[in-house]
Structure 1
Amino acid sequence: MRVRSIASNAITLLLAGLIIFIVLSQVFGFPAPIAFVETGSMAGTIDPGEGFIGIPAPLAGEPSVGDVVTYRAQIIQDGGLTTHRIVDVTEAGYVTQGDANSFTDQDDGEPYVTDAQIELVALQFNGDVVTIPGVAAAARTGSGILAAIAGVIGVSETSGANTGLALGIAGLLIVGAAYIYDLFTGSATRVLRRSTRRWAVVDSRFILLALLLALSLPILSVMAVPSGTTEITITSAEFERPNDPTVIKAGGTAESTSNVEAGPFIPRTIVLEPRTEGVQFADRVLQVAPGGTAETTLTLSAPEETGPYIRARSEHHYIGVLPSSVIVALHDIHPFVAMTTITGMLLSPVAVLFYLIVGFRPIVLREETR
């Protein structure tokens, strides 16, 4: 195989791997793994317009002092995603601060940051954040092109996260289609330059792998997209407000009804979990029929000390092809284990059918002249 062909295949695999990583990040509800900052609060570490590589929180492990994290703020910068450094850890949560700021986010009114709010942890090497110059400029330059592509494939009216997911899947399909087209047709230039004949052969197992990967993305999306974490800002106050369940008497509790819905056509097993202290559910596991709704009682508790606090709860949706006890056991290992097991169960008939019809053997794709 010539050096040019090896380089071409390597670039194709690199692009496909990058797109898969971006798609999976979007599927599991995380921001894009290559992000940038727009303000000067981290100047000197990450200057405005510079990018950084963000590791999704579940893969990065437990954050610690010194980590630069991207979290969903409640107060500062009008809420939304904020990238600052963890400078202290308390029982109530993390204390964060921009490297260029002389005050912490909590001094500025932001509640303590919880694990549920952290989305990304910036990649560091020898204690320094790995930065990428010009990411913001490239993002702005390409935004018009991306918007045009989104319009062509019919996702111009979707939210930013869903647009990113759709574009990622479209990119993956384009790369895959181009690679398959090249396998079957080859390049006219290469044909003219070759003087001997040979057969282009591919192992059918690689075709099966590509097929299973393509089918797994929508299955994972069905489970991952409706899953996620909901944050609730409560106020521990001297007196409760009967009409506002988020204002709770200090040291007391408040109950409310929590509703979860299932999409059409597919039965769901939904696992509810507290992501912070002060959250309890009457029922942890809910079985929901296609298009149905289930409800449980949510109890929030307030600390003795008055002030605002973050309470977070998560819900994980699974396709109900296994008994709920099995799904919960797999979920307790890790949600990804449960999702991949269910995906494997759904795709196993496809693999068996492929084996019975095609088998595991070399497949001749085209005749080439060298």
Structure 2
Amino acid sequence: MTARTYLERGLGIAVVIVIVLLLIGQVLGQPILLGYVATGSMEPTMNAGDGFVAIPSVVAGEIQEGDVVVYDARELHDGGLTTHRVVGETEDGYVTAGDANPFTDQDGDEPPVSESQIVATAWQVNGEVVTIPHLGTVVMGMHGLLEQASQTVTSALGIEGSSGSDGLGAFFVAIGVALLGFGLLLERFGPSERITDRSRRRKNVVRFWVAIGVVLVALVTVATAAMVIPAGTTEYGLVSSDSPTDDPQIVAPGETTTLTRTVDNAGFVPVVVVHEAPHEHVSVDPDRQTVGIRSEAETTVSLTAPEETGEYTRHVEEHRYLAVVSPSILGTLHDVHPLVAIAFVNVVVVAVTVALVSLLFGTGDFRLRNGGDHVPFSTRLARTVRKWLR
């Protein structure tokens, strides 16, 4: 191949990676390596529609004053992700503000931003945010077009569409995986621009690693989504009051109340659930549990009211991992880092899939043969089963 061909393919791969990251970010409700601002609140640092490189909070390290963070707002703009700069820190959390705003977010109704609310940090070099001009403008345009496409497809199929971003994001990922798989097959078996020598490709033959690669992309995407999407942070309101009521979340100063938390597993694989309480006056029992296939379990959340009266917010973080190995192993990996546990689960899924496919079909290429229209499908299926049972 020529240098131009390598360059074109490299650019094509880069575009695919960008699209996949943006689609996954839609599902997870947070930017994955790439984000964008929709308003001018961060001007002149970032103009409306500019993109930026987003470092997930799990690897970003300690938040410091001057960092530009993406956080899940409680009140600002009716809630949702907001990209603003950290301008201070209090005992209750961080103080944030847009560079173009003469006031902080906390001067309004937005409470101080806690660690659990921060989902990413904008990458800065020498104190300057690395921006990608107009990336957000393109993404928002695609978002609108795909939303219309989603509504059209679901209406045509008679399926009740999801009004939330999760349903739309899942639709995006499904399209992304399908297009990625189609692209791999087209790259391998599609016509080239120019045939300069004799082709060595065999007709109706699918390379083993091409076929299994497409399957693995889909499996890893589904496995990661099954672990990440149901997980997250649950917020509990707590009122420390001199006049407690029967409401379990309104208690006397210094008293402890307990709430029951239900953990559902709607999947067909058991999951290991890890609960973490970042605040010292919050505890979860049990903090680690295994939930079986299509079942649920309960855990108890204990909240201790501060000595000073007032309204407080407490959080419990939930992490999920497919129980492909023993819960103790997953717990140990989680203690190292949640991403380590997720990566390990995906490695196991890949290894088991490759092993099963190799055992059942071997590692040779797959030959697609036409059995002929005169042979009924049931007969061809019976022949295939008998061949496997030999």
**Which residue is equivalent to 1:124?**
124
TM-score, reference length from structure 1:
0.84
Aligned match of 2:217 in 213, 216, 230? 213
Q: Distance in 1 between matches of 2:298 and 2:61?
A: 32
Are residues 1:138 and 2:141 paired?
Answer: no
Q: Does 1:299 align with 2:297?
A: no
Report the CA distance between 1:281 and its aligned residue.
1.0
Higher RCO (CA-CA < 8 Å; seq separation 6+): 1
- Report sequence identity in percent: 35
Mapped contact 1:262–1:291 kept (Cα < 8 A): yes
1:167 corresponds to which of 158, 168, 172: 172
Residues 288-332 of structure 1: per-residue CA shift (max 9 Å, x gap): 222222112211123333433331112222223322222211221
**What is the CA distance between 1:345 and its match in structure 2?**
2.7
The alpha-carbon deviation at position 33 of structure 1 amounts to: 4.8
Partner letter of residue 57 of structure 1? Answer: S
Judged with a 3 Å threshold, the aligned counterparts in structure 2 of structure 1 residues 186 and 346 are, in CA distance, closer, same or farther, namely same
Q: C-alpha root-mean-square deviation of aligned residues, in Å?
A: 3.1
8 Å contact from structure 2 (residues 184, 214) kept in 1: no
Aligned to 1:311: 314
Structure 1 residues not aligned, in runs of 5+: 366-370
Q: Which residue type is aligned with residue 176 of structure 1?
A: G
Which position in structure 2 is the counterpart of 1:266? Answer: 269
1:230 maps to what in 2? 234
Contact 1:111–1:310, Cα closer than 8 Å, also in 2: no
Aligned-partner SS, 1:63 = coil
- How many residues align? The count is 359
Q: Which amino acid aligns with 1:6?
A: Y
Conserved 8 A contact 1:19-1:168 = no
Match of 1:368 in 2: none
Task: Give the deviation of 1:131 after TM superposition.
Answer: 3.0
More strand by share: 1
Task: Indicate the residue corresponding to 1:199 in structure 2.
Answer: 200
Equivalent-residue separation in structure 1 for 2:136 and 2:186 (angstroms): 34
Where 2:17 maps in the other structure, the secondary structure is helix
Amino acid at match of 1:325: S
Q: Give the SS at the match of 2:180.
A: helix
The DSSP-based 3-state class of the residue aligned with 1:298 is: strand
In structure 2, distance between residues paired with 1:234 and 1:73: 19
For residues 5-58 of structure 1, the C-alpha deviation after alignment (integer angstroms, 9 at most, x for no partner) is 212321232133223433554565524654443444333223334333322211
Cα distance in 2 for partners of 1:136, 1:322 equals 40
Letter in 1 for 2:313: I
2:185 matched to which residue of 1? Answer: 180
Distance 1:240 1:213, change over 3 A: same
Query: Residue 65 in 1 paired to residue 65 in 2?
Result: yes
Residue 118 of structure 1 and its aligned partner are, at CA, apart by 0.5
* Deviation digits for residues 125-166 of structure 1 (CA, Å, limit 9, x no counterpart): 221223334345434433442124324664882321332243
Structure 1 residues 327 and 26, CA gap change in structure 2 (3 angstroms): farther
SS in 1 for 2:194: helix
**Deviation per residue, 1:161-184 (Å, 9 max, x gap):** 332243134224313313322321
Q: Residues of 2 paired with 1:79 and 1:257: CA distance?
A: 26
Deviations 1:161-220 (A, max 9, x none): 332243134224313313322321323x513xx3x3243599855654443233211122
Q: Which amino acid aligns with 2:175?
A: A
CA pair 88-126 structure 1, distance change in 2 beyond 3 A? same
Q: Which amino acid aligns with 1:146?
A: L
Instruction: Give the deviation of 1:100 after TM superposition.
Output: 2.8
Question: Alpha carbons of 1:292 and 1:131: their partners in 2 closer, same or farther (altered >3 Å)?
Answer: same
Change (3 A) 1:235 1:79: farther
Aligned partner of 2:326: which letter?
Answer: P
Matched, 1:239 2:240: no
Note closer, same or farther for the CA distance 1:221–1:333 as it changes in structure 2 (3 Å cut).
same
Query: Residue 36 and residue 12 in structure 1: after superposition, are their counterparts in 2 closer, same or farther (change >3 A)?
Result: closer
* Correspondent of 1:257 among 255, 260, 264: 260
Query: Does residue 321 of the first structure (1) align with residue 324 of the second (2)?
Result: yes
Is residue 21–residue 32 contact of structure 2 (8 Å, CA) maintained in 1?
no
In the other structure, the counterpart of 1:345 is 348
Distance verdict in 2 for CA 1:262–1:112, change over 3 Å: same
